[in-house]
Each structure stands twice: as C-alpha cells, then as structure tokens.
Structure 1
Amino acid sequence: MDPEKWFAQYDEKLKAAAASANKAEQALREVGGSATSQDGEVSVHVTANGGLSDLVLRPGVRDLEPEHLARLILETSRKAQRDAGQQVVDVMTKFVGEGAALDAVKEHLPQGFTGDGRDNPMDLVARRDKRSDEEYFDSPPEVIK
C-alpha cells in the first residue's frame, strides 16, 4: 500500500474517532439523574458523575425525624445516581458498544446500579408510617429480603 494513502486513511480514522469522542463528551455533559422519594417529600437531581446539583425538600419533611430525613435524602440521591448511571451506560453503549470498555464504565457506577434500569430493592425507602407506636408494633411493616 502507498504510504501516503495509508497515512490519509489513518488520518481519516483519527478524525472520525475524535468526532465520535466529541459527540460522546457532549452527550455525557447532558446526562443527569433525577428521583423523588416515594412519599414525594424529597426530590434530587445529580450530574453525570453523581454529584448533587439540586435538592428540593417539601413542607412535609418538617414532620420527619432528622435521622429518617437524612436516610430519605441519601436513598433518593442514590436512586438519582442510578438514573444518571443508566444514562451514562446508554450513551457509552452507543459510542463504544458492548465489551471491555463498557464494562469498565459500569464498574465505576454508583452502588446498587443493576444495569437493567431497575432499582436494587434493598435501596428502596419505605413510605413514611404515620401510625402510633402502639399500632405500629401491633402490626409492623413487612420486611423485604
């Protein structure tokens, strides 16, 4: 093969790879995950890397114990991170396809990410229980295993 032709083809491949990388970078900039707690009191939005970019607490959080509110915020954030993770996987699958590169991306996704668009059931937060202690202990909630 003619060296000039080979270099021209190689240059075209490099330009195509750079254009694809730029498209992937732009698509990843637009990724963000959102989630709202089951009771609707907490909403979060995260960036592609899982960083919290917005947090909305509705008036009902005033009735929550601080520990429960903290747990609710963390769990809702994790759901948003998994949402963002799924979007990252979708973008990267489009640009790199299935294989080792995509597996490497998946390894760095938030804990609880299943890769199938479903939440890990162990990470879900139960709805706030407004029963009295006596009613609660007479009929406690079912524990999911």
Structure 2
Amino acid sequence: MDPAQWLADYDQKLSETERTTAQASARLAEVSGHAVSPRGEAEVTVGAGGALQQLTLSPAARALEVDELAQLIMATALRAQADAKAQVADVVAEVYGDVPALEALTNAVPEAPVEHRNPTDDEYFAAPEVRA
C-alpha cells in the first residue's frame, strides 16, 4: 500500500473516532438516573457514573426511624444508579455497537434492589399470622 494513502486512511479513521467519541461524550453528559421511593419519602438523581447529584426528602421521611430512612435512601439510590446504567448502556450500544466493553459497563453497577415495603395497617392486621 502507498504510504501516503495509508496515512490518509489512518487520519480519516482518527477523525471518525474523534467524532464518535465527541458524540458519545455529549450524550453521556445528558444521562441522569432518577428514582423515587415507593411512598415518595426519598427522591434521588445520579449522574452517568452513578454519583449522587440530588437527594430530596419529603416531610413523610421524618416519620421513619433513622436506620429505615438510611436503607430507603440507599435502595432508592441503587434504583437511580440502575436507571443511569441502562441509559449509559443504550448510548454505548447506539454509538459503538455491541462492543466487549459494554458487558463490563453493564456489570459495573449492581442491579436495582427488589422493592420491600412496609405493609399498611390494613394489610398487616389482615395477615393470617396476626389474626390468631
């Protein structure tokens, strides 16, 4: 191959890579994961990397015990991180296709926790073990 042509091709590939990277960076900068606790006591927003950007507590959060509130915030943050992770994976897949790094990226953040909620008083007293 002609060295001048090889250099021109290489320069073109670098330019394409630069454009693709700039496109991905711009889209990733817009990613934010969001989650609200089941009863609305906590609302969490995280960035593309999962870092906490905003935490809002409703007045209902004051009725919770400190440990319960901490667990609720953590669970809500994990759901927000899972939301951000899904958005990041979508951007990477759209921009770069199915690349090996995509699997590592999707495994980097834990899955959103299964929702556990406290039963309402009616649900609690309707449970068979309580009616005894």
TM-score, with normalisation over the residues of structure 2? 0.87
TM-score, with normalisation over the residues of structure 1? 0.79
3-state DSSP of counterpart to 1:43: strand
Q: Deviations over 1:97-133 (max 9, x none)?
A: 113121122232x211xxxxxx5xx53131x43529x
Work out the percentage of aligned pairs sharing the same amino acid.
36
2:86 aligned partner = 86
Work out which of the residue numbers 98, 115, 121 in structure 2 matches 1:124.
Answer: 115
The whole-number CA distance in structure 2 between the counterparts of 1:61 and 1:5 is: 66
The whole-number CA distance in structure 2 between the counterparts of 1:51 and 1:101 is: 20
The whole-number CA distance in structure 1 between the counterparts of 2:104 and 2:41 is: 35
Question: After TM superposition, which residue ranges in structure 1, 4 or more long, deviate above 6 angstroms?
Answer: none
Q: Deviations over 1:59-97 (max 9, x none)?
A: 111111111111111111000000000001001101221
- Asked whether the equivalents of residues 48 and 88 of structure 1 are also in contact (C-alpha less than 8 Å), the reply is yes
The whole-number CA distance in structure 1 between the counterparts of 2:10 and 2:35 is: 45
Mapping for residues 50-61 of structure 1, pairs under 5 Å: 50-61=50-61
Mapping for residues 1-145 of structure 1, pairs under 5 Å: 1-108=1-108, 110-112=109-111, 119=112, 122-126=113-117, 128-131=118-121, 135=125, 138=130
Which residue identity is paired with 2:121? R
Coordinate RMSD, CA, aligned: 2.0
- Runs of 5+ unmatched residues, structure 2: none
